[in-house]
Amino acid sequence: MRRKKSHSELLLLIPILASPIAYGDHLWDEKYFSVNLDGCKNLVAGFKAVDTVKGFVYTSSAPIIAGSGGSYSRADETYPTLAVHQKGDPYHVAKALADKFVLEANDPHGIRTACIRPTAMYGEGDRQMIPHTLNVIDSGRFRRRLRSYIRSARTSRSLP
């Protein structure tokens, strides 16, 4: 007979925190490290203490990949990140250090951990992606950028 799980048992946690404007004012530098790195350390320590959480997925960020030249298509968890170099904007360095911590905290006999590294996220209250995209479309620059992207893709990938 299988034991019925209690509603208070948390098996997997995937926190998704949106960034402030990452490349903007560095007034938030300390908060980036407090929320991302210290927050992850506190969560993992708490999970180990309660022993009911079996998985933790950290929402990292694609730009933590160091020296990629902006291409993330073939990058995996073995690529060097800003955690190694610790250079770059404070937001992404903090994300890289938290990413490294989470991957190192993986325990096949305890809490399994993983990171996702999306290139962009948006949602309710977004002030970065959607307004900028709408401005590009409204200004007519979208067609020029799309045409340029298609030409570049055809050249680099030999598309028809």
Q: Is the dihedral of CA 90, 76, 115, 149 positive or negative?
A: positive
| CA–CA distance, 51 with 140 (Å, rounded to integer) | 55
87 is catalytic: no
Q: Would you give the DSSP letter of residue 30? A: H
Q: Which residues pair with 12 in a beta bridge?
A: 55
Complete edge-to-edge strand list for the sheet that includes strand 112-116: 12-13, 55-59, 112-116
> Which pair of tokens denotes residue 67?
């020296």
| CA–CA distance, 4 with 104 (Å, rounded to integer) | 32
The catalytic residue among 4, 41, 54, 95 is: 95
H or E stretch covering 115: strand 112-116
| CA–CA distance, 122 with 84 (Å, rounded to integer) | 28
Active-site amino acid positions: 95
